[in-house]
Structure 1
Amino acid sequence: MSHAPNAFQRATLPPATRESEPRPQAPETAGGGLAAAQERPPRAAPTKRRDAYFDNAKYLAIVLVAVAHSWVPVMDGSRAARALYMVTYTFHMPAFIIISGYFSRSFDMSPAKVKRLVTGVAVPYVVFETAYSLFRRYADQPGAPISLTEPWYLTWFLAALFVWRLTTPLWRNLRHPLAVSLVIACLASLAPGIGNDLDLPRVFQFLPFFVLGLQLKPEHFQLVRRREVRRLALPLFAVAVLFAYWAAPRMELGWFLRDSAAQDMGAPWWAGAVMTLALFGCATLLTAAFLSLVPRRHTWFTVLGAGTICGYLLHGFMVKGATYSGLFDRNEWLISPIGLVLVTVVASAGVTLLCTPPVQRALRCVTEPDMNWAFRRDSGKL
């Protein structure tokens, strides 16, 4: 569930003609998810400003990511919690990835953009993959390996984003890139022998969302923000929740994680292709509904959209720390509806604090490292 200069920050966009209708700027200059993985614009463009809409979308998406992760230890035995988990996992990472693709459209392997890819995606990946591996080793699994080729927990997204962005020029030049990416995703869903290097099953199965983002234009975001779409959003989510409640005891959660082949989940090989296409359609619809409900104006949480990389990369320590400490095992009442609400509130508040400006500044040495010493002087020029 995938929820730059780092991949999530600085969605600066040209001034809008009206505040209620911000106009997205040129691609790739804005940016874990998670979530909304976006590139930092050149500092020489002070007239550009951030777009509140995309910052709002990134913050709300990272909250959904953290909440869904926090539900995992307490949803056993709760059909309603499992249904909500399924709905959330259907679209929260696809939403991040689609926006990441949208802001990666101009990636062209120029020295400046390769440098930002290294400093904003590769470096955080190496640092946090190492940190999470050490955390797991000393908190829960002594002797657990430290491997930069096998992402653990939530660092897979940075590895995937690195691969996706490197291949952007290819997708931008293909005649039917989305169709090709869907074929690759379908093949990955029925090929259990791919292996775990760089979490390739997820890289391939989430690929169509990144490619879809590459195909989007500003007018597509204006379209989903129309009143007619907003009116349909809540009924669509209601239908999704009802269907998920029915399917909760019948459906394998691995389909939503997209980290396994159909055969690994005991399903026939052809089910992989069917589920890949079905979930792509459902995720696209729910993402459009989610984006239609995102506020367009500046809100109290807009400033937090610039810190989603911090919230994404740090909230895993919060969730795993609570799990390793036995908090959920000692308090079985957390599985109750009241406990689920409490866990949701605490997770939302925790990830919100992790996105605040002080945390952003403290983590900047990792998420936006100054690595001029590692590059030639002309590497930052377009």
Structure 2
Amino acid sequence: MERNAFFDNAKVVLIFFVVFGHMIQPFVDGSREMSTLYSWIYTFHMPAFILMSGFFAKGAGNFSYIINLVKKLLVPYLIFQVLYSGYYFLIGKSGWQTDLFSPHWALWFLFSLFSWHLLLYWFKKLPPLLSIAIALQIGLIIGYFGEIGHTFSLSRTFVFFPFFLIGYFLTEKQIMLLKHKSVKIASLVIMSAVFVSIYFMPEFNSGWLLASKSYGDLGMAEYGGLARLLVYITAAIMVVSVLAWIPKAHYNWTKLGARTLYVYLLHGFFIQYFRQADVFQINGLHDFLGLAALSLGLVFLLSSRPILGLWQPVIEGKASILKQNLKT
């Protein structure tokens, strides 16, 4: 069955925003424009990525399915947890000593993705609207418990689960409705309005978008549920708006959409070094465009065949690319 270029294009665009968002994070405190852009990116890039993951989820739930998930998600998580701990120590980064179940940086996604697949076994048995409504309710309630946070990636698992569930229930035909001209026009207004709103919003805490802290930690212990509901609504309309502009045509770079996990797991080695060594500064438009170009370059580098061949045994537990290259 031929891959739909739209989904691969979407994954490439989204992984670029993941890398670029991490690239500009050190500069958000010194610039209102950078802080706004950073928060704007975070309104949609992970929710959209998670929705895509849900769309391609099988949710079989049998023993072989679970074992396969362990191989694909938990084994790489454990390996990279150790690798990042050692790497952080080498570059002199504080916090390198962490327990195995407090995910380093971006590794939370692997742990949460495994959990979402497990949760899907039960939630897929319910009618879609009821299933999503329950997941949303859990996501809203969970923020009132300060004990649920970064460990085991529990907070993000429950908060982002509705997007995974929505992706699972969506059909390809329904997603393609986003390509309608009226949706694309409306999306320009929405994306602009969200950007301007974030810019003029007083002291917006980007922690609301990261979903790893309780309402108490975010300074809104009583009305945190209402705030998170607004974040959910904003994320949903932003995901729709961004996906509406993803092209459907097949390009030379479309194939990179099947390799985004490599970019996600490996780009942290570069980002963390850049931050620790304080390599970059943003003093003008040329610096900003340079970081955007570097982010794009990392996407292409880390999804290249040589990198895939080198890291496939670690990430996928097989060496088919290396064997193929040796034969030729």
TM-score, normalisation: structure 1: 0.79
**Residues 313 and 209 (structure 1), Cα distance of their counterparts in 2 relative to 1, 3 Å cut:** same
Greater mean alpha carbon deviation, residues 154-163 or residues 343-352:
343-352
Q: Deviations over 1:226-261 (max 9, x none)?
A: 2221222222211111111112x4211111111111
3-state DSSP class of the match of 1:298? coil
Give how far 1:279 is off: 1.1
The answer to whether the 8 Å contact 1:194/1:200 transfers is: yes
Q: Which runs of 5+ in 2 are unaligned?
A: 320-328
3-state DSSP class of the match of 1:327? coil
CA distance in 2 between partners of 1:129 and 1:336 (Å): 36
CA RMSD of aligned residues (A): 1.8
Match of 1:236 in 2: 190
CA distance in 1 between partners of 2:79 and 2:245 (Å): 35
Q: In structure 1, give the amino acid aligned to 2:193.
A: V
Q: In structure 1, give the amino acid aligned to 2:8.
A: D
Match of 2:203 in 1: 250
Q: Deviations over 1:249-300 (max 9, x none)?
A: 4211111111111110222332x21122111111111111111111101012
Q: In structure 2, give the amino acid aligned to 1:355.
A: S
CA distance in 1 between partners of 2:306 and 2:3 (Å): 19
Relative to its length, the structure with more helix (as a share) is 2
Q: In structure 2, give the amino acid aligned to 1:228.
A: S
Q: Deviations over 1:101-134 (max 9, x none)?
A: 1111x31223442232122111111111111111
The answer to whether the 8 Å contact 1:310/1:355 transfers is: yes
* Aligned equivalent of 1:204, options 153, 158, 161: 158
Q: In structure 2, give the amino acid aligned to 1:122.
A: L
Match of 1:79 in 2: 32
CA distance in 2 between partners of 1:117 and 1:317 (Å): 25
Match of 2:237 in 1: 285
Match of 1:150 in 2: 102
Give how far 1:222 is off: 1.6
Q: Does 1:166 align with 2:118?
A: yes
**Residues 195 and 244 (structure 1), Cα distance of their counterparts in 2 relative to 1, 3 Å cut:** closer
Give matches, 1:306-317, under 5 Å: 306-317=258-269
Match of 1:51 in 2: 4
Give how far 1:341 is off: 2.3
**Residues 225 and 142 (structure 1), Cα distance of their counterparts in 2 relative to 1, 3 Å cut:** closer
Q: Does 1:177 align with 2:131?
A: yes
3-state DSSP class of the match of 1:173? coil
CA distance in 2 between partners of 1:143 and 1:290 (Å): 35
The answer to whether the 8 Å contact 2:149/2:213 transfers is: no
CA distance in 1 between partners of 2:240 and 2:161 (Å): 18
The answer to whether the 8 Å contact 2:27/2:35 transfers is: no
The answer to whether the 8 Å contact 1:119/1:367 transfers is: no
CA distance in 1 between partners of 2:180 and 2:94 (Å): 53
CA distance in 2 between partners of 1:180 and 1:311 (Å): 33
Q: Does 1:133 align with 2:88?
A: no
Match of 2:248 in 1: 296
CA distance in 1 between partners of 2:211 and 2:163 (Å): 12
Match of 2:179 in 1: 225
**Residues 211 and 67 (structure 1), Cα distance of their counterparts in 2 relative to 1, 3 Å cut:** same
CA distance in 2 between partners of 1:142 and 1:74 (Å): 19
Q: In structure 2, give the amino acid aligned to 1:350.
A: L
Q: Which runs of 5+ in 1 are unaligned?
A: 1-47, 372-382
Match of 1:117 in 2: 69
The answer to whether the 8 Å contact 1:75/1:335 transfers is: no
Give matches, 1:29-68, under 5 Å: 48-68=1-21
Q: In structure 2, give the amino acid aligned to 1:300.
A: N
Match of 1:345 in 2: 293
Match of 2:51 in 1: 98
TM-score, normalisation: structure 2: 0.91
Match of 1:336 in 2: 284
* Divergent runs of 4+, >4 A: none
Give how far 1:370 is off: 4.1
CA distance in 2 between partners of 1:97 and 1:123 (Å): 20
CA distance in 1 between partners of 2:145 and 2:181 (Å): 42
Match of 2:323 in 1: none
Q: Does 1:323 align with 2:275?
A: yes
Give how far 1:58 is off: 0.4
Q: Sequence identity of aligned pairs in percent?
A: 30
Match of 2:41 in 1: 88
**Residues 107 and 149 (structure 1), Cα distance of their counterparts in 2 relative to 1, 3 Å cut:** same
CA distance in 2 between partners of 1:141 and 1:308 (Å): 26
Q: Does 1:261 align with 2:211?
A: no
Give how far 1:195 is off: 4.2
Q: In structure 2, give the amino acid aligned to 1:103.
A: F
Q: In structure 1, give the amino acid aligned to 2:261.
A: I
Match of 2:322 in 1: none
3-state DSSP class of the match of 1:262? coil
